[in-house]
Structure 1
Amino acid sequence: MKLHLSTKDYLFMLSFTLSNSLYAANVQIDFEELPLVSSDFYNGSDLAGGFVSYGMDFNNLYTNITSTCCWQGWAYSQTTDTTTPGAANQYSAFAGSGAAGSAKYGIAFSGFDAGGGIIPEITLPVNSNPTSVQITNTTYAALSMQTGDGFAKKFGGLSGNDPDWFLLTVNGLNVADTVVGNVSLYLADYRFANSAEDYILDQWTEVDLTPLANLDVRKLSFRLSSTDNGQFGMNTPAYLALDNFFVDVTTTPGDFDVNGSVGLPDLTIWNTHYGVDLRAAFNHGDADKDGDVDGTDFLTWQANFTTVASITQSIPEPTTLFITGGLTLGLYLPCRRYQIFI
């Protein structure tokens, strides 16, 4: 087969002397690589205690009361129901999909803020800085605020003038679990003098997390609060949806799965995304941070591959590569593009 390289890639090959020094890679957590085996959501019913996506650890506590109950912390989903009220529809984002129309996204339920349980947390790798995340309501929380239900009030009250709000606070915690900074987003706000400006968030909204950068943050905790509270805690359903979480992680070039080493799973990631030429992230195989996944990124992986001299590996089409200690390249120049025969 032929692996097409641009002139830039070819020149890079000729002068390629990349070392395995660490650098800051912008990692995108979008949940798309996480499996859904027999349903449209994962809620921790396997009692794993959480899940990991590209080095980020999402906590989960599942109590096996029934076959579907009960979970706290983080789940992930691909359900799209924006019209059915109630807890049976707790896994749907009110925006109707993941961010930018993607399939999967994360769901948080704060049992702590609902009256007792755990706080949804994301544990970050060492030497990392969160940069941004996209947030929206779940359908369950949004419709509860919009019309009220058996547990929670209709936001605005009967007159529509009650100054209700539903607030997300993202706390940055250091290694001692001390809060060192926070950012916030109103998921609903009915405090405006002009009630026409009152809103319940129904679209994915970007939250800037850079105020938490360079504070040695090791965890992010997601706290929810509301004007609607009762004897046992918050009445508003303590849920949110999360997607496109970006983190700057210090790692080795080519460590696309952000597990601390460069190996064959990283080559699989590069191979899966080879040819993506718009807004690719590091964990999609974009080692040189130019927004695409191409031959230059493969060479970066190869230069940092931990055991390249002892591996013979065949990768399936469309980007078949045969590795035996290194990569033997035949080059020729057809017109204005270089092609590598492998």
Structure 2
Amino acid sequence: MKTLIKLLILLSIPYNTLFAQNVQTWNDSMKVTFVRPVVSLEEIKTTYKDFMEKEGKTTTTSHELFGETSWFLSPIYSDTLFFKQHHVVPQWQIIRDNNSDWPDIRIVALYNVETKQKDTVAWNAAIKHYGYELLTDFWGNVVKVLPFHLRDGFHQVAVHTFPYVGFTACRRTAYLGIKNGQYRGSVFDLSFTTSDYVSRAIGYLGGNDETRGDWDNPYYMATAYILLAHELSIYMKDVKVEKFNRTFFVEVDRTGHLILHPLDDNYTSEEKRIFKMLQIQIKRIEPFALHGIQLADGRFLPGHFMEIYKNKTLHTDKDNKQLDNQRKETFNRWKIGLPRYQRLERGNAYSLFKHW
């Protein structure tokens, strides 16, 4: 009976209270708890459908920024009347205080929640309303900051955020440790690592591999999909397919194998046959070739959105005399790419794209 009561209490607690734990109390041992609730398949399909209907035009909740490409998962001061009236959120930045052994994290700018741009009018109004302080940054520049401090404790931030098929993904999450209003260090979720295929892609592109999530740089991810498609082409070589193009959510199950969940409707009987073979053959790919994706709201997306396709097969020179055999072989392979409207080069104001 007690167990049932506890369960009912848990079910009655709002999602943000139960799972987010975005602000935790301070402790000198710097121990925090990372909680990553998994996004349901139902929500994944609904979000994808909405993303497609809006032709990729999605909106993100405005969060308080930390630096240029990260944000706080929970509001700190953006819920105050002044910021709401001016439709802005603060941008926090680590600032060195020459009078202290520890740096501060202070508000250095305000961003308009609609334009996603710095709002100098609101900034000047805030200075007039709250006053300001002058601090020196790491490069020796004098910076004007608002007289706000982070509350003591651990504040969770999403590191390097960017849009992903209706969700907002991030490289990983971390907690900023604050004591006496000063920054004491960060605690990262080291259990969230890079998968084998993304590691290989990073190596091919000359990047630096480190502990981070699978969706770090979309160019790495796109390259990993090419590697995945090459292996899938080997397994599907004896399956007769003239042409195929469908989008899936590719789940990484608990054993590390890939499972295809169709996101499109109205499959023909031929497409159903091909899908059945794809489902069988894709499970032959090595376990944990890919990992899931960390979302900027603290949740976990247990897979990837993929467009899996094969162009119309070229059989003979009559199909295209300008294509040599090697190019025909490449043309006839299976390919895996990002879904429609998901772009590599563009993102919203909180996107890391512009910094690559």
TM-score (norm 2): 0.20
Higher helix share goes to which structure?
Answer: 2
Higher strand share goes to which structure?
Answer: 1
TM-score (norm 1): 0.21
**Larger RCO: 1 or 2 (CA < 8 Å, sep 6+):** 1
